[in-house]
Amino acid sequence: MRLSRFFLPTLREDPAEAEVVSHKLMLRAGMIRKLASGIYSYLPLGLRALRKVENIVREEMNRAGALEVLLPLVQPAELWQETGRWKDYGKELLRFKDRKDHDFCLGPTHEEVITDLVRREVRSYRDLPLILYQIAPKFRDEIRPRFGIMRAREFLMKDAYSFDADEEGLKVSYQRMYEAYERIFTRCGLRFRAVLADTGAIGGSESHEFMVLAETGEDRLALCEACGYAANVELAEGQAYFVYPQEEEKPLEKVSTPGVRSVEEVSAFLGVPPSKLVKTLLYRAGEEVVAVLIRGDLELNEVKLRNLLGVAEVEMADPETVERITRAPVGFAGPVGLSGVRVLADLSVRGLRNFVTGANEVEAHYVNVNYGRDFPEPEFHDLRVVTEGDPCPRCGRLLAITRGIEVGHIFKLGTKYSRPMRATFLDREGQERPLVMGCYGIGIGRTVAAAIEQNHDEAGIVFPREIAPFEALILTLGPDPDLLEASERLYRELSGAGIEVLWDDRDERPGVKFKDADLIGLPYQVIVGRRFRETGEVELKERATGRRETLSPEALPSRLKT
RNA sequence: CGGGGCGUAGCGCAGCCUGGCAGCGCACCUGCCUUGGGAGCAGGGGGUCGGCGGUUCAAAUCCGCCCGCCCCGACCA
């Protein structure tokens, strides 16, 4: 492709709207443009990178025995009512009516549609296992679209669904997909980890997320280098017991703490470390309000709380509720004398003696609080976010916390959808049984963004070879006819050798061409300039390393093929 | 949805506080010149100042309402 005929609007400056590198670079490199919040157009260069990832995914899905289909984006409400998700999915599901006033939605995911398809066609265990997938747009009306294409509302996703006769079969399908995912992200040139994950709104029993390791990732991961344990901190298990020194119980004392509310303030005011404080957090879970006690220096894990309470959603109680229950403004809640709510406590509180809590009274805290004596022993559960240096729940060594970008997520669904939708088959004994399902997603655009997040420098993108929009860029430095002629010959030869090559034949000065070349980050730059005039040779620059070599034009095709 | 910020030429921004010519850099067009890291000179085109309403002799600027976008939190590929 000749650059003079290509559509590549590069930007010299960072766009004001972009914050993270991948977003800035994708805009600057002319890969994407925004149409509305979370809604993007792909320009030719961006689309080529997207297609590269898409093709890797397609190849590996096919290799794993999955079959490609294409499912509708627009879906009737009736299907979603069958599984109850028309009510449960919330505002992320974009709903609308057609001209006949029938309810529809844009598909944020396709469990309902695929289950409907399969229940109509699959009758027998002989048809199983079956894995279907598609690579198609999804629409999720995200609360806060972010980071460009990384969290878009409309995005391209690969979603696969497995159907098996039993749990054993599901295990095999799941493993097969897990391995395909490892191959996919490896081929995309990414450093990633598969981690245990919460199943969230999709549901099911077991789940792994594939996380690209990057500082800008929205997720935190707990990793144990000793035994390989890896989990999203959302569900990484906190250690069972903290061992506290045995202290004598001291007498309960109420102290005045004027204007002092937060853990830091109380800690500084009383001269007591945060780990000697116990926070009392009030949460609303549906109709119920619960109080959760947790050590002052630790963070409550809302996912664990949600799963413990068996509800879809928990949220911090609003100030009015806090005041009604504690009879004090926010900042002074405590377990002593608290009534009318269920009191839960993180394991970090077990065994802790003589701690500090709010006194349920304006500007007052209790010191030397002890459960069992000053208030009833609470229910202890693992409710905290694990932190750096926590022991690994498997082997007890220290956990490290890193950040990651979720590019893939796989779930064992079981019969969560097949049962309500009555997707059944007849087993060998002629028994009707529900299909056992799994589902497997990959964010295609997100994978491109994550790859850029992980592979760039000050000058621009450094595309991993397998997903680069082109393999090489020929830079013709100067308007001389002989340079142009030689460049064109090279361009034809490389193209003819099956190498995807872009030729910067624009009438621009060398500096402009070099800057754009580094910005768009193709793996190789072929420089036809001064050296060619002198010796008839061209220069090959590797984008990733900056390494340059000089060689004859004839030697180039075979050099680039290795 | 809560909190913070921003909307002025294609992009990046100044002007707004203190009302009175709509500006700067880059990009774009023409000519000359230049060709190994975003050249130079000369000339030129491009604006509902996010929208609507109000105040005023006069509004980008002051006031009100609305819209859009970005960032931080809860959701997710």
From the alpha carbon of A109, which nucleotide's C1' atom is closest? B77
Residue ranges in A131-195 assigned as alpha helix (H): 167-187
Nucleotide lying nearest to A408, CA to C1' measure: B77
Q: Please, which positions of strand B sit below 7 A from a protein CB?
A: 1-2, 6, 11-13, 25-27, 34-39, 68-77
A155 closest CA partner among A412, A438, A449: A449
What's the rounded Cα separation, in Å, for the pair A87 and A302? 22
pTM of this prediction?
0.93
Q: Which nucleotide is nearest to A158 (CA to C1')?
A: B77
Residue nearest to nucleotide B1 (CA to C1'): A143
Amino acid occupying residue A54: E
pLDDT in tens, A438-477: 999 999 999 999 999 999 999 999 999 999 999 999 999 9
For every residue of A284-301, which 3-state class applies, written as one string? EECCEEEEEEEECCCCEC
- Residues 6 or more apart whose CB falls under 8 angstroms from that of A196 comprise A207, A208, A230, A231, A232, A235, A236
- In angstroms, the CA of A562 and the C1' of B8 are apart by 53
Å from the A479 CA to the B30 C1':
20
Find where tokens 């450093």 sit.
Answer: A191
Residue nearest to nucleotide B2 (CA to C1'): A318
How confident is residue A329, by pLDDT bands cut at 50, 70 and 90?
confident
Return mean pLDDT, chain A: 92
CA of A9 to C1' of B61 (A): 34
SS3 state at A115: helix
Determine the nucleotide nearest to A507 by Cα–C1' distance.
B35
Q: Mean pLDDT lowest for which of A271-280, A303-312, A366-375?
A: A303-312
The most distant pair of C-alpha atoms in chain A lies apart, rounded to whole Å, by 94
- Angstrom distance, A470 CA to B18 C1': 56
Q: CA A314 → CA A281, A282, A303, A345, A350, distances in Å?
A: 12, 10, 8, 16, 23
CA dihedral A320, A321, A324, A326 (to 10 degrees): -110
Q: Which two tokens stand for residue A394?
A: 């498997």
Distance A86 CA to B64 C1' (A): 40
Q: How far apart are CA A226 and CA A394, in angstroms?
A: 10
pLDDT tens sequence across A20-74: 999 999 999 999 999 999 999 999 999 999 999 999 999 999 999 999 999 999 9
What was the ipTM of the complex prediction? 0.93
Task: Report the nucleotide nearest the CA of residue A511, measured to C1'.
Answer: B37
Over residues A121-130, mean pLDDT = 97
A388 in the Ramachandran plot: left (φ > 0), alpha (ψ -120 to 50) or beta?
A: beta
Q: What backbone phi and psi angles, to 5 degrees, belong to A194?
A: -90, 130
* B74 C1' closest Cα residue: A315
Which two tokens mark A86? 């028309």
C-alpha torsion sign, points A320, A322, A327, A333: negative
pLDDT, tens digit (0-9, with 9 covering 90-100), for A272-295: 888 899 989 888 887 788 899 999
Q: Inform me whether the pLDDT recorded for A402 exceeds 80.
A: yes
Q: Which residue has the tokens 């590797």?
A: A542
Query: Cβ distance A328 to A218 under 8 Å?
Result: no
How long is the CA A18 to C1' B59 vector, in angstroms?
32
Closest CA to A108 of A73, A79, A158: A73
CA dihedral A319, A324, A325, A327 (to 10 degrees): 100
Measured CA A373 to C1' B9 distance, in angstroms: 73
